[in-house]
């Protein structure tokens, strides 16, 4: 692929030379893997005659977006009105997720969900399924068809929800184990042990989750933490022996590299240090936090110099309001504004790509355009709409161009999405 290439090869919160840009660059892909990247002028003579070059003269080519927290089973309840977290769960979510007992329904929604990911330039997502194993099968079957690096898991929940949605500590262990054996490491699929959140798991179930992680050390862990103040108070009453919400997971042995905790809006300084020490990661979900009125995530506190946490971006569909990581960057900027921090476009792109890969422990394979990494890529169209074309014509720097794309962009801005070097989505339906 030839075009304007932009990628982060380090964390720009700490490193000033993390950005790599080739204004007219070439990415060479062989067998789905990037084998070279550099200026077109330097590399063009090495291209064999029979190798096609896809040229994107108005495109900004970057690493595919990584959504570090999303619920595919909530695709049908985006934009559910008028509630904060716990009421929203009871009124909408716990009703919607019961439909996923039906494997055919799960398969239909999985197909819609994956279409949306690709149309938004998202090439990898860490995903909640429902409590039913068949909802997980539907998810990984669709992921396999599309050859995408996807991470998912069966929700574990054994209390404080409608009877029909509950498992038990033992059945959640047995079902998760069978799913790990069926899906983890088959094709590009990875499994995440997925206790929903502390209020819907007994201590016995959290212990079962921990046992699964120990028995399957390469699986991930995916849950929610400190999203909403009412939720935090409830966790304190349910787990009086714990120091706080994060400590519930810590005591259960659930925090380690590859553990991703959604939200973390209200973590205190000691909890942030503990996240740092354990190597766990936070998924920042700004559209969701604003939609549910949960609070403002302080990204510069998360990225403090002494104990920085790994941070990626999450759409958190269906509490989140867009599948687009561009829209999510836009809202992350506005949330940061309200915390008096000017989050620049380079850092936003990092959060949506390499920051996500690092959160999932997949930075060796994903998150940047470098030789050896898989060619999961996205082409952004600087001229996607008349207004964007006009605005892009005014920009004087890469930072400004990226910022304009993040703030004004959405699915219309995604021209092409590549999975392992193959076109998986093309906005205009072109064959490349």
**Site residues (CB under 6 A) for ligand GUN?**
71, 85, 89, 93, 196-197, 224, 227, 288, 316, 319
Which segment (2-10, 16-24, 171-179, 314-322) binds Zn ion by CB under 5 A? 314-322
**Which residue number places its CB atom closest to Zn ion?**
316
For the bound state, the minimum distance from the C-beta of residue 227 to ligand GUN, rounded and expressed in Å, comes to 5
Angle, CA 98 vertex, CA 95 and CA 104 arms, to 5°: 130
Q: x/- binding map, residues 256-295, to Zn ion, per CB under 5 A?
A: ------x---------------------------------
Residue with tokens 């050859």: 147
For the bound state, the minimum distance from the C-beta of residue 96 to ligand GUN, rounded and expressed in Å, comes to 10
- CA 395, CA 345: separation in Å to the nearest integer? 13
- CA 432, CA 392: separation in Å to the nearest integer? 25
- Judged by beta carbon, residue 1 or residue 290, the one nearer ligand GUN is 290
- CA 300, CA 129: separation in Å to the nearest integer? 31
For the bound state, the minimum distance from the C-beta of residue 85 to ligand GUN, rounded and expressed in Å, comes to 6
Q: Is 97 a binder of Zn ion (CB under 5 A)?
A: no
Cβ count within 10 A of residue 377: 26
For the bound state, the minimum distance from the C-beta of residue 46 to Zn ion, rounded and expressed in Å, comes to 46
- Judged by beta carbon, residue 154 or residue 373, the one nearer ligand GUN is 154
For the bound state, the minimum distance from the C-beta of residue 370 to ligand GUN, rounded and expressed in Å, comes to 33
Angle, CA 239 vertex, CA 233 and CA 245 arms, to 5°: 55
Which segment (36-44, 230-238, 310-318, 392-400) binds Zn ion by CB under 5 A? 310-318
CA atoms within 13 A on the CB side of 159: 12
For the bound state, the minimum distance from the C-beta of residue 196 to ligand GUN, rounded and expressed in Å, comes to 5
227 binds, among Zn ion, ligand GUN, none (CB under 5 to 8 A by kind): ligand GUN
- Judged by beta carbon, residue 151 or residue 319, the one nearer ligand GUN is 319
Structure tokens at 234: 């409830």
For the bound state, the minimum distance from the C-beta of residue 195 to ligand GUN, rounded and expressed in Å, comes to 10
CB 16 within 8 A of CB 346: no
- Judged by beta carbon, residue 62 or residue 194, the one nearer Zn ion is 194
Tell me which DSSP letter residue 121 carries.
T
CB proximity list for 47: less than 8 A, separation 6 or greater: 26, 28, 53
- Judged by beta carbon, residue 85 or residue 192, the one nearer ligand GUN is 85
197 binds, among ligand GUN, Zn ion, none (CB under 5 to 8 A by kind): ligand GUN
Collect contacts of 233-236 with beta carbons under 8 A, ≥24 apart.
Answer: 234/86, 234/199, 235/198, 235/199
Task: Give the full edge-to-edge strand order of the sheet including 422-426.
Answer: 33-39, 19-30, 2-8, 55-63, 377-381, 414-419, 422-426
Single out the residue of 142, 316, 358, 381 in contact with Zn ion (rule: CB under 5 A).
316
- CA 241, CA 244: separation in Å to the nearest integer? 9
Which segment (8-16, 137-145, 297-305, 312-320) binds Zn ion by CB under 5 A? 312-320
Instruction: Restricting to residues 48-77, name those near Zn ion by CB under 5 A.
Output: none
- Judged by beta carbon, residue 94 or residue 341, the one nearer ligand GUN is 94
Tell me which DSSP letter residue 223 carries.
E
- CA 422, CA 79: separation in Å to the nearest integer? 33
Of 121, 55, 131, the C-alpha closest to 93 is: 131
- Judged by beta carbon, residue 248 or residue 262, the one nearer Zn ion is 262
- Judged by beta carbon, residue 184 or residue 196, the one nearer ligand GUN is 196
- CA 249, CA 284: separation in Å to the nearest integer? 18
For the bound state, the minimum distance from the C-beta of residue 378 to ligand GUN, rounded and expressed in Å, comes to 25
89 binds, among Zn ion, ligand GUN, none (CB under 5 to 8 A by kind): ligand GUN
For the bound state, the minimum distance from the C-beta of residue 291 to ligand GUN, rounded and expressed in Å, comes to 9
274 binds, among Zn ion, ligand GUN, none (CB under 5 to 8 A by kind): none
| Alpha helix ranges (H) inside 66-132 | 85-88, 94-96, 103-119
For the bound state, the minimum distance from the C-beta of residue 265 to ligand GUN, rounded and expressed in Å, comes to 11
Residues that bind Zn ion (CB under 5 A): 262, 316
């Amino acid at each position: 692929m030839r075009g304007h290439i932009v990628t982060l090869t380090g964390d720009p919160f700490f490193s000033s030379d993390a950005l790599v840009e080739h204004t007219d660059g070439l990415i060479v892909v062989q067998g789905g893997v990037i084998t070279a990247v550099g200026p077109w002028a330097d590399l063009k003579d090495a291209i064999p005659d029979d190798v096609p070059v896809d040229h994107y003269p108005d495109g900004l080519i970057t690493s595919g977006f990584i959504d570090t927290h999303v619920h595919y089973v909530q695709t049908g309840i985006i934009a559910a009105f008028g509630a904060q977290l716990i009421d929203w769960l009871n009124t909408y979510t716990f009703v919607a997720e019961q439909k996923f007992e039906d494997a055919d329904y799960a398969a239909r929604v999985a197909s819609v969900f994956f279409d949306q990911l690709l149309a938004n330039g998202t090439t990898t997502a860490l995903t909640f399924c429902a409590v039913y194993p068949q909802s997980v099968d539907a998810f990984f079957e669709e992921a396999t068809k599309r050859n995408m690096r996807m991470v998912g898991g069966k929700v574990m929940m054994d209390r404080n929800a409608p009877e029909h949605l509950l498992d038990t500590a033992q059945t959640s262990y047995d079902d998760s184990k069978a799913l790990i054996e069926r899906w983890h490491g088959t094709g590009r699929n990875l499994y995440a042990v997925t206790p929903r959140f502390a209020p819907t798991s007994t201590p016995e179930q959290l212990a079962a989750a921990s046992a699964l992680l120990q028995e399957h050390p390469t699986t991930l862990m995916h849950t929610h933490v400190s999203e909403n103040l009412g939720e935090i108070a409830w966790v304190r009453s349910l787990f009086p022996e714990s120091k706080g919400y994060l400590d519930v997971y810590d005591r259960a042995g659930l925090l380690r590299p590859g553990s991703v905790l959604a939200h973390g809006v209200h973590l205190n300084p000691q909890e942030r240090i503990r996240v740092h020490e354990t190597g766990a990661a936070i998924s920042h979900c700004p559209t969701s936090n604003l939609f549910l009125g949960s609070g403002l995530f302080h990204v510069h506190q998360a990225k403090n110099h002494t104990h920085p946490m790994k941070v990626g971006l999450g759409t958190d569909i269906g509490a989140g309001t867009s599948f687009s990581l561009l829209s999510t960057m836009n809202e992350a900027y506005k949330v940061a504004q309200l915390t008096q921090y000017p989050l620049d476009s380079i850092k936003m792109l990092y959060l949506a790509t390499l920051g996500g890969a690092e959160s999932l422990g997949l930075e060796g394979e994903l998150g940047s355009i470098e030789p050896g990494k898989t060619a999961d890529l996205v082409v952004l169209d600087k001229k996607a709409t008349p207004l964007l074309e006009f605005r892009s014509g005014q920009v004087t720097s890469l930072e400004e161009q990226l910022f304009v794309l993040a703030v004004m962009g959405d699915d219309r801005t995604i021209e092409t999405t590549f999975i392992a070097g193959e076109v998986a989505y093309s906005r205009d339906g072109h064959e490349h």
